[in-house]
A = this chain, B = another copy of it.
Amino acid sequence: MPAIRHALSTKREDDFAQWYQEVISEAEMAEESGVRGCMVIKPWGYGIWERIQRLMDDRIKAAGVTNCYFPLFIPLSYFAKEAEHVEGFAKEMAVVTHHRLVGDGKGGLVPDPEAKLEEPLIVRPTSETVIGAAMARWVQSWRDLPLMVNQWANVVRWEMRTRMFLRTSEFLWQEGHTAHADRDDAMTETLRALEMYRDFSETELAMPVIAGEKPENERFPGAVATYSIEAMMQDGKALQAGTSHYLGTGFAEAAGIQYQDKEGTQQYAHTTSWGTSTRMVGGVIMTHGDDDGLRVPPMIAPHQIVILPMLRDNDEDEALLAYCEELRKALVTQFALNEPLRVLLDKRPGKATQKRWAWVKKGVPLILEIGGRDAAGGQVSMLRRDKLWNDAAKANFVAMSKEDFVARAAAEIEDIQTSLHAEAKAKLQANISQAASFEELASFFSEDKRYPGWVEVEWSRPTGEALEAVVQKLKAHKLTIRNTPLDAAPVAGNCVFTGDPAVERIYVARSY
């Protein structure tokens, strides 16, 4: 078989980190903004986020959660209160200290010393405190519960080492916050949100994940239990793609979220919070991308089909465009994955081949290239992004009549969604190993594997200092505990760390 000339200059197996940056750049998803740690999300990257947002929002609303909007700024004193209670309180935050600029007398501008704020404001890193204060106002009686709100917003965490979509100082997310009458109801909601994220990842993102509970040392500060979904990237590292927290009554006590129960007694509410972010876009890239760029699962693709007329700047262009427009109109009446097909007729100037490869790198699921002869003969040439190369190492175009294509377009799109998921699922399963001892675990990761994947082990769920010892032991191998899967098989042996009888299984991996 002749060698394929891939569209990217870096291959995944050669340098995964550089490959990732190249996909983002070549697919025109995002770029550095000139503002430290902040990115510009370009139309293709933002279009994918908009699809994620809309589909996730539909699920959130269907669960009876309503959207609200809370302030970007949080007074410093709110955090001071939290810091008292929470040991792991992160302090890397953007602090607003002035509300006016003034000329510096040398043609420049400086913060006006006369306009110093009495109390500094923090740009929200998360909204627990300000939403807790609102919930304290809104909740009076058991009739007000459950109270379930969600916010789509930008948040800021001052990050020293940033990577686009995965860790940026500013990012976009949704944060759900709910208050409940008792532990059971709150825990049910915590797990509902987790299951929503799991199913969303598998279905909409075609990204297989493991849903489970994080170990004590990785809990959200102040949480009673933290759950996550963990996806495996193609370099074998884990990506935490969403979290859901049961907060007990601790946050309600700090914020004063109290209700009168049916017996007339004042009770503290049990609260939860759960979130996903633009990080999921990074997960999609590292799950589905290949050496030709991104491959976008059809459910979240801004365009599912791009029609590329091979324009020649001559008299025949008009008939060709009319043919393509007719095709586009026929396609958008078709439904795939419960929505009308999203089809772009790309009429921009430029060479068809260049435009083809630009769309390949962007990962649009289906490309139709149509020349004058195709139009005259009622034909189309279809290129599936997930079946890009033929045996001759050429772009794997399949010719067929326009009618045939219209009839099978929806099925092709649905098949791409399914195929991407199946491919990723197979990779995940193939890259999970077992280890029966710490030595086995350590040697697995120290072997000369570039991308070793995850290891499943049994453990005794130590806490406190015993857990800390485990964490440090793993850290020496650059490893972390990802989570305790909810649907694991029963344990059979002893803890690989402590030797005590095991109580559950955990995944150990390198991670983002």
Contacts and interface: CB of A to CB of B under 8 A. Distances in A.
A33 interface: yes
A432 interface: no
A154 interface: yes
From A46, A69, A79, residue with most partner B Cβ within 10 Å = A69
A418 interface: no
Given A99-B94, A158-B100, A72 B112 contact: no
A149 B42 CA distance: 9
Nearest to A103: B83
A161 interface: no
A50 interface: yes
A39 interface: yes
Contacts of A34: 75, 130, 133
A107 interface: yes
B107 A84 contact: yes
A68 B40 contact: yes
From A94, A111, A349, residue with most partner B Cβ within 10 Å = A94
A95 B68 contact: no
Contacts of A68: 40-43, 46
From A39, A83, A109, A158, residue with most partner B Cβ within 10 Å = A109
A369 B194 CA distance: 37
Contacts of A103: 83
Nearest to A278: B69
A69 B96 contact: no
A509 interface: no
Given A46-B67, A73-B170, A121 B143 contact: no
From A40, A97, A100, A133, residue with most partner B Cβ within 10 Å = A40
A100 B89 CA distance: 12
Interface string A61-103: 0000011111111111001100110000001111111111111
Contact of A71 (B47, B93, B170): B170
Given A66-B47, A143-B349, A38 B95 contact: no
Interface string A26-49: 000001011100111111001101
28 contacts: A31-B137, A33-B71, A34-B133, A38-B73, A40-B68, A40-B71, A40-B134, A41-B68, A42-B68, A43-B67, A46-B67, A47-B67, A71-B170, A79-B101, A80-B107, A83-B103, A84-B107, A91-B100, A92-B99, A93-B100, A93-B101, A94-B96, A94-B99, A94-B121, A95-B99, A96-B123, A110-B120, A154-B154
A161 to B, nearest CB: 14
Contacts of A75: 34-35
A68 B112 CA distance: 32
For the residues of A in contact with B, the DSSP-based class is mixed
A108 interface: yes
Nearest to A101: B91
Nearest to A43: B66
Contact of A46 (B39, B49, B69, B92): B69
A156 interface: yes
A452 to B, nearest CB: 35
A172 interface: yes
Nearest to A38: B71
A348 interface: yes
A108 B80 contact: yes
A97 B97 contact: yes
B123 A123 contact: yes
A222 B346 CA distance: 35
Contact of A33 (B50, B76, B120, B134): B134
Contacts of A149: 43
Nearest to A35: B71
A328 to B, nearest CB: 15
A156 B42 CA distance: 23
A169 B204 CA distance: 37
